[in-house]
Structures are given as structure tokens and as C-alpha cells.
């Protein structure tokens, strides 16, 4: 049975890896032969690539950092606070997390339009800051932290921020790394928001560059797709062990 499971998972892994491997292989081909011409055309002739790449880095990094400042206190509040309606509020968070992006696009657009934030970086950053996914995951992890450490810290200080910083964050460090990886990957891969909320090409992201395939040749798109994979791959290599520890079923139960 174990061998059958190993075979099944190997086949599934190959199915998922095959498109990535094909993208990498085709990025080094031009005219049916091995060539770096695609990378040369992208890096030296396609100058729109650079602002879009750095826009993706800026948006993803800013959203990830600010989300952490929101996620950790919110998850701590759900974990430790006692107030009426907390369970219903958390269920509402879960419902929001499960909603398709298309459901929230129009309300977000109307709100950003009324605030004058359409076609600005804040139009991309602001709606993503309050994503409920990280709060739900972090709350589930906080169920297993040592509350005695928190109580000991409360005897020394009345500052909730000091309690979080000194007694909570050290205990959830592994989960924070896992959430950072998922949040960054989600922000890095966003397509609909920059396409709908941004009109100026200077503000758009690398995902939009790749989506507009009809405007570029395949020799440029395949190298761009490979470069698009690199930041998330680097984060995964750095946080792989923390990801496995932070999101195991036992720790989130």
C-alpha cells in the first residue's frame, strides 16, 4: 500500500512539475535551438519589464509586512479576548476567506474609486492588507501556545504590544514564516487587481506583463515566466522547514 501511495504521489508531483519544467526549457530555446536570446531580448530590449518587476516586489513586500502588523494582533485578540459575538465574528472571517475574489472585486473598486485611489499603488495595497486568511491560520496556531508565558508577562506590563512581542511572537515564529510565504505568494500572483485598479502601465505588475501575451513574442514571455517564479521559489527554499512545521495538521488542530 505504501508503494502504491508513493507511486501515486510521484505521478501527481510530475504532473504539477511538468509545466514548470517545460517553461524553463522553452525559455532557453529560440528557433528550435538552445539560445539565450530570449533573456537578452527581455533584459536589454524590453524595458517595460523592469518597472513591472519592481512594482510586483514593492506591492508584495509592502502588503506582506503590513498584513503581519494586522494579522498577529487580530489573531491574538480572537485567541485571548472574551466578548459576545466572538464566535460569530470569526465565522464571518472564515466566510470572507472562502469568498471568490470576483465577489469582492466590484465593492473594492467602488470603494477605491470613491476614495480617489484608483490608478495609485494604494489601490493595490490597501484592500489586500485586511485579507482574512492570515488571521484564520494564525488563530488556529495560537490555540496551542503556552498561556502561562503570557500570564507571566502580563504581571510585568500592561502593554498589550509588549505582551505580543515578548511572549507571543517567539512562540508562533514558525507559523509567521509559513504565513509570510503564503501571503507573499498570493500578492505576487495577483492579476485581477492590477488589471482593474491600475490604468497606468508604469504602476502595473509583472503578472500583467505575462498576461498580455499577445503583445510580446514567446521568446520573451518564457524567460519572463521563469523570472516570475524565482522570488517565490527563493522564499520557499528559505522557509521550507518552517512551512512544514507551521502548517502541520497536528499543530493547527
Q: Are 178 and 239 in contact (CB under 8 A)?
A: yes
Whether 149 and 116 share a structural domain: yes
Residues 54 and 156 in one domain: yes
Kindly report, residue by residue over 154-191, the tens digit of the pLDDT: 888 888 888 888 888 888 888 888 888 889 999 999 98
247 pLDDT higher than 60: no
Q: Do 65 and 156 belong to one domain? A: yes
Q: What average pLDDT is seen over the chain?
A: 85
Is residue 224 situated within a structural domain?
Answer: yes
Stretch (H or E) spanning 33: strand 33-34
Residue 65 shares a structural domain with residue 2: no
First to last CA, the chain: 27
Question: How many domains are there within the chain?
Answer: 2
- At 252, the pLDDT band (50, 70, 90 cuts) reads very low
**What pLDDT digit, counting tens, does each position of 85-144 carry?**
888 888 888 888 888 888 888 889 999 999 999 999 999 999 888 888 888 888 888 888
User: For residues 17 and 143, what is the distance between their CA atoms, to the nearest angstrom?
Assistant: 35
- The answer to whether residues 239 and 215 belong to one domain is yes
Taking the C-alpha atoms of residue 212 and residue 50, their distance in angstroms, rounded to an integer, is: 16
Expressed as residue numbers, the domain containing 21 is 1-35
The answer to the question of residue 99 being in a domain is yes
Position 51 pLDDT exceeds 50: yes
Residue 63 pLDDT grade (very low, low, confident, very high; cuts 50, 70, 90): very high
Amino acid at each position: 500500500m505504501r508503494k502504491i501511495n508513493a507511486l501515486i504521489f510521484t505521478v501527481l508531483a510530475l504532473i504539477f512539475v511538468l509545466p514548470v519544467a517545460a517553461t524553463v526549457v522553452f525559455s532557453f530555446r529560440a528557433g528550435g535551438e538552445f539560445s539565450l536570446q530570449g533573456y537578452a531580448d527581455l533584459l536589454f530590449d524590453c524595458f517595460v519589464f523592469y518597472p513591472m518587476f519592481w512594482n510586483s516586489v514593492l506591492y508584495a513586500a509592502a502588503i506582506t509586512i503590513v498584513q503581519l502588523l494586522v494579522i498577529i494582533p487580530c489573531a491574538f485578540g480572537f485567541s485571548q479576548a472574551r466578548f459576545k459575538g466572538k464566535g460569530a465574528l470569526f465565522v464571518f472571517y472564515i466566510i470572507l476567506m472562502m469568498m471568490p475574489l470576483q465577489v469582492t472585486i466590484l465593492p473594492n473598486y467602488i470603494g477605491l474609486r470613491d476614495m480617489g485611489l484608483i490608478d495609485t499603488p494604494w489601490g493595490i495595497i490597501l484592500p489586500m492588507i485586511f485579507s482574512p486568511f492570515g488571521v484564520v491560520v494564525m488563530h488556529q496556531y495560537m490555540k496551542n501556545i503556552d498561556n502561562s508565558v503570557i500570564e507571566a508577562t502580563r504581571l510585568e506590563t500592561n502593554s498589550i504590544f509588549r505582551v505580543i512581542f515578548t511572549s507571543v511572537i517567539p512562540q508562533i515564529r514558525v507559523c509567521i514564516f509559513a504565513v509570510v510565504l503564503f501571503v507573499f505568494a498570493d500578492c505576487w500572483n495577483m492579476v485581477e487587481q492590477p488589471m482593474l485598479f491600475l490604468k497606468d502601465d508604469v504602476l502595473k505588475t509583472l503578472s500583467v506583463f505575462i498576461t498580455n501575451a499577445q503583445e510580446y513574442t514567446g521568446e520573451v514571455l518564457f524567460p519572463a515566466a521563469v523570472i516570475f517564479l524565482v522570488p517565490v521559489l527563493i522564499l520557499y527554499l528559505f522557509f521550507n522547514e518552517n512551512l512544514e512545521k507551521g502548517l502541520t495538521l497536528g499543530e493547527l488542530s
